[in-house]
Every structure is written in C-alpha cells, then in structure tokens.
Structure 1
Amino acid sequence: MSPSVDKPLEPLPTYRRGLAKAVWYGMTSTAIWCVAKLVYRLRIEGQRRVPMEGPVVLVANHQSHLDPPLVGGATRRQLSYLARDTLFKGPLGWLIRSYDAVPVDRDGSGLAGLRATLKRLKLGGAVLVFPEGTRTPDGELQPLKPGFLTLVRRSKATLAPIGFDGPYHVWPRGAKAPRLTGRIAMHYGEPIGPAEVAELGDDDLLTLVRERIATAMVGAQALNRR
C-alpha cells in the first residue's frame, strides 16, 4: 500500500481591485507614508502581524481624519474603506471612489453597504473599521459599537487591532486643518484568529477587541516616547 501524500494547501482567496485602482492606491499610499514620515516622524511597529492572504478586519482607535490614509500607507496589503454615502459627491466623491470605498447609509439601515463589505471579505479582502463609530472628542478610546462583529463572524475573518498615538494632537476633532507639527505612531497588536472569534460570545469578543486596541495604543505611545 503506497504511503499517503498530503495534498498541498490551497492559497486563501484574496480580493483584488482593478489594475488602475490598484496602481493609484499603491502610488498615493506610498506618498502619504513618505509625507507622514517627513512631517510627523511617523513610527510603525508590528505591521507584519497582518495576514497577507484571506479575509481581515483591521480595527483601530479613531483619532482624526488622518487615520484611514495612515493605515492604508502602513499596511502591507491594499484595504477597502467604508464611507458615508453622502460623501460620494463632487471631487471628494471621485477621490473616495478611486479608492474602491464602500458607501454606507448611516441614516438608513446600511444593509447595502454591509452586504458589499461582506462580499469583499468573503473574497479574501481586507477592510478597515473604526469600531468607535466616529472620531474621539478627547483622544481617549471611546466605547466600541458591536456592528462589525457580524462581518467578522460571517466572513470568518482575522481581527487585526491597531493603536494610534498622535493624530488627535495633529488634527483634533473640530479643527479645519491639520497642524504641521507633532509626532504620530502606530502599533499593530496581536491578531484574533477565526477560531478564537468562534469560541467567544459577542460581549466577550467586544471586550477582547477593546483590550487589544487599548494595548496597541499603549504600544504606540511607547514608540512616540523613544
């Protein structure tokens, strides 16, 4: 009887955007990263913790308008973003669409946006979510909203926590434009895999996500003190 031969593991599916959008994303993300390094002495730690294949939901504290492009420039794979449907108008709308963003109706049920996001995750995409729902008013981590948990469970995604330190001081809520001084740091925390997600109820999982983001924020603060 011949010995059994293990079948090679099939690669995980990974969502791919069109070539033009992929090139545009890569160029602008690199430019943003370079500017942040020069102006805000951006420091990043732990980005290799984000899986390069398969569905991933990145969850971060939300300190300013700078957060989405900073994550896009620092993360090693291209991300999908969620944006209010009212922003998809005029020049800003063109820019948002160029990043293949998903429109979300915050005044309605938001089901269309959730379905589109879930579809991308099931195709192996990576999506950035700010579980606080809006920018912090004081720089501190606010209570997390549980809506993203449905996406994580149904897509069997890995949760990748990120902590920011500095964007709030550079561009606080209510300011019309960012300051050109200050320091920014990002720390990628320990991921939460699909198996661990499946073992926890929503309350326990939300608590764990908050703990991981808070720990990542401490890591970012330590980076800024070095």
Structure 2
Amino acid sequence: MSTETKQQRRIRRARRRERRRVHANPHIHRFLRFVVRQVLGAAFSIETVGRETVNRASGPFIILANHSAVIDPMVLGIYVNKPIHFVVSDSQFRSRLLGWVLRLVGSIPKTKAMSDLDTIKKIVAVKSAGGVIGLFPEGQSSWDGKNLPIMRATDKLLKSLKVPVYTARIEGAYLAWPRWARRFRRGPIRITYSRLFSPADLKELTVAQVGERLEEALAVDIWAFQRDRRFRYRGSRHAEYLERVLFVCPACHGLDTLVSEGRRLSCRSCNHSVLFNERGFFEAPRGSLHFTTVSDWNRWQLDWFAAYLSRNGTSVSGDGPLLKEAGMVVREGYKTQPLRTLGRATIYLYTKRLEFVLENGSTMTFPLKSLEGINVQNNEHLEFYHAFSLYRLSPESPRGNSLKWDYAVRRLQNQQF
C-alpha cells in the first residue's frame, strides 16, 4: 500500500470521527439552562426530588426518563448541572435554526422507529468524552398519558455501555402540555431522580432483567396520580386539538367526525359532546359519559378501529380502500436533510399497499411490507421510509389525525408478516 493511500485513509477516518463528534458548548449550556429555567418556572410549578443524586455523579453516565410531553427534555435538563446530550428525532434537525441550536447543545440525531448505527456511534463518542447521555426509551411521547413500551434495544445498549444509569420519573407534564395540544396549561410537574444501575449491576443482570427494572422505574400512571391529587391545570382551551388523538365517536362510531372548540369536544354526526376540564378529565354536559380519560377513550377506539380494519379488509368488494384522505401534502427527503415538496395528493390505504394520487395525475404505490420507520412527527405529520427515501404526509388541516394512519399501517403490516 502506498504512503499516499495510507494518508488518504487516515484523513477519511479522521473526518468520520469528526462527523461523529458531539460537543455541547458549556457556556451556551449554562446560559440556556438559566433562561429556560426562568421561563418554565414562571409557567409551571416544578418540584424535584433527588436531583442531588445526579448532580453528585462524575464521569460518563446515562439518564433515562418517561416521555409524556414535548417539554420533557427541557424540564429534565434544567436541574442537571452537566450538559445532557439528548437523543433527538432527526426531523428536528431539518430546520436550519433549530438544527443549529440542537448541535450547539450537543444533541444526537436519531431516525424514529428504526435502528440507527450512526446514533450508536455518537452515543459511544459522548461516553468516551465523559459526557452525559439523555434517552427517552419509549422512543416518542405519549398520546394519551399512558406509558409506551420500552424499545427493546435500550436494555442491550445499557448493558454494552457499562456506565451508571440514572432515571427521572416525570409526573404532571402530560396534563401541563399534552402531545396533541398547541397550548400549555399552568400546573404542577414533579421530577424524581434516582440511580437505577451501577456498572456492576449491569454486568450481573441479564438483558431481560435490565428491561424489567427499567420499565418498573419509569412507570407512571398519570390518571391515578391525578385522581389522588386533583391538581388544576389552568388554561382557556383545554380540549382544542384533541381530534389529533381521538378519531372515533363513542356514541355513533363515526370516523373522523370529532371537532374541538374551547373546552368542548363534539361529534359533527350525532352531536354527542363532552367537556375537558382543568383536572384533565372528561365531563358530560348532557347525556351519557362513555369515558373519563383520554387513555380510556383511546384504548376503546384502537380496539374498535382494529375490528373495523379487519371487517372492512375482508368484506370490501374488489380492491376498495380502507382509508382515504384528500389534500395531504407529500414531501420527500432523507434523515436530517431538508424536505422537497412533491405536491398535494389523495392518499389511499389498501390491505397491502399505500397509494398517493398527486394533483398532476401521477400515482405513487408503496407495498406495506416495504415501509419502514413509520411514525407521527410533530403531532400531525406521518412519516415513513421506502427504498432509502423518507416520505412525509401532512394533513390539510393542523387538526388532522395522522395517528389512525400510523396505527392502520402497523396493524396491516403485522398481519402480513
């Protein structure tokens, strides 16, 4: 091998290491922590328990938390002295301004719902530099306040990194700013910090035991918490945008017939309505009350929707669509790269494929079994990968429900494999 070739390889390796380098500017971190702490402290009543346990820690470590609201990273990070390198959805890096800020504070991009080797390499780089890694092992924030399943790769990652593991249980953030809402509500949030594993613990425990203890440590029942304490979360439009998560009327079983205004959620088809109060529970202004929490309603609607998909998937004549939605904006991209708009389209979901019929008359067809990483970004955008390209579908209305598309595709995919 020539000297020139060896030198070129060394340069390429150095460039790869630099791309994996994650650095949080300590001065920027202190400034932002101060500013964000003042803002969040004015908006919410935040109580912390055990934060000195984390702040006494030295060297590299991992901090894990349940994920119930968009403000979780900020609420968690402002009480930890060292900069936390949070693993963040790569969609947030597509904005030049936000991407610049996230890189400035040392955030690590991760493609949702897919394995990402580059993310692992960056996490290892942070560990090697003695930094703090922040993870939300559920992979996304909760739609209805209930814990989501822990991503199974998390327990293996903890075992392989062999560093101390701390947890932060966040309670009340879902009621203060639900994932589906555009406005926050003033009320209490409690964060409980604790040490979960030492390196010696991780060495002795099996992967399954690590996962079990992690699930137990991060389990939060916000509805039991709220029934016991009855905290008030003050605001003016508590129900608005609930149709982003709730898409089936419990009275008439109408699909996409719900509309929110102020504190009221109503059905356009049968006029059934409920009020969403300051404590996060439903009330009935008239008639019967089917559910008292978003979680109960969501659990019922997903069971109903699964039966709907099964029933219509076997009974449609010919090859009719199970779902259809017009006016969706289709964009294409890849990971952190800016998205390119392809145009508006009508979207059709069939039992084995997804189709876009664009306004220019062209049709794009995607076999369901070939779709990867399907998820809902920023509350309303459906994203998935096909043949190394990212596609984003955005409803015409910001109140549009992409969750049902996400659930339907996953359900149909599971039936095919």
Report the TM-score range of the alignment, normalised by the length of the smaller protein: 0.7 to 0.9
Offset of 1:188 from its aligned partner? 0.6
Amino acid at match of 2:210: L
User: Aligned with 1:190: secondary structure?
Assistant: strand
The gaps in structure 2 that reach 5 residues or longer are 1-20, 232-417
Structure 2 residue identity aligned to 1:140:
K
Give the TM-score normalised by structure 2: 0.46
Comparing 47-56 with 112-121, greater Cα deviation is found at 47-56
Other-structure match for 2:157: 151
Q: CA deviation at 1:131?
A: 0.8
Confirm whether residue 122 of structure 1 aligns to residue 128 of structure 2: yes
More helix by share: 1
Contact kept in structure 2, 1:183 and 1:224, CA below 8 Å:
no
1:84 aligns with 2:86: no
Residue 4 of structure 1 corresponds to which residue in structure 2? none
Residue equivalent to 1:47: 51
Q: Which amino acid aligns with 2:160?
A: R
**CA–CA separation in structure 2 for the residues paired with 1:100 and 1:168:** 26
State the AA in 2 paired with 1:47. R
Partner of 1:139: 145
Structure 1 residue 127, shift from structure 2 partner:
0.8
Aligned with residue 178 of structure 1, among 179, 184, 194: 184
- Cα deviation, 1:17-67, whole Å, max 9, x if unaligned, reads 46xx21111111122222222321111110121253122111111011100
CA contact (8 A) 2:155 2:208 kept: no
Deviation larger for 54-63 or 85-94 = 85-94
SS of 1:82's equivalent? strand
Match of 1:112 among 118, 121, 128: 118
**Cα distance between partner residues in 2 of 1:141 and 1:216:** 8
Asked if residue 212 in structure 1 is aligned to residue 217 in structure 2, the reply is yes
Q: Is the 8 A contact 1:48 1:76 kept in 2?
A: no
Cα drift, residue 198 of structure 1: 1.1
Identity %: 23
| Cα deviation digits, residues 177-224 of structure 1 (max 9, x gap) | 323x1111111123311111111111111111111223898xx98999
Q: Secondary structure at the match of 1:189?
A: strand
Equivalent-residue separation in structure 2 for 1:64 and 1:90 (angstroms): 23
Q: Does 1:36 align with 2:40?
A: yes
Equivalent residue, structure 1, for 2:106 = 100
Distance in 1, matches of 2:44 and 2:31, equals: 20
How far 1:140 sits from its partner (Å)?
Answer: 2.2
Tell which has more relative contact order, 1 or 2 (C-alpha 8 A, sep 6+): 1
8 Å Cα contact 2:48-2:191 kept in structure 1: yes
Measured on the aligned residues, the alpha-carbon RMSD in Å equals 2.8
2: distance between equivalents of 1:209 and 1:108? 21
1:161·1:213 contact (CA, 8 Å) conserved in 2?
Answer: yes
- Taking the aligned partners of 2:50 and 2:230, their CA distance within structure 1 comes to 15
- Number of residues paired by the alignment? 207
Uncovered stretches (5+) of structure 1, i.e. residues with no partner: 1-14
**Structure with the higher fraction of residues in strand conformation:** 2
**Bigger mean CA deviation after superposition, 169-178 or 59-68:** 169-178
- The TM-score with structure 1 as length reference comes to 0.81
What corresponds to 1:168 in structure 2?
Answer: 174
8 A Cα contact 1:187 1:216, kept in partner = no
2:31 matches 1:23? no
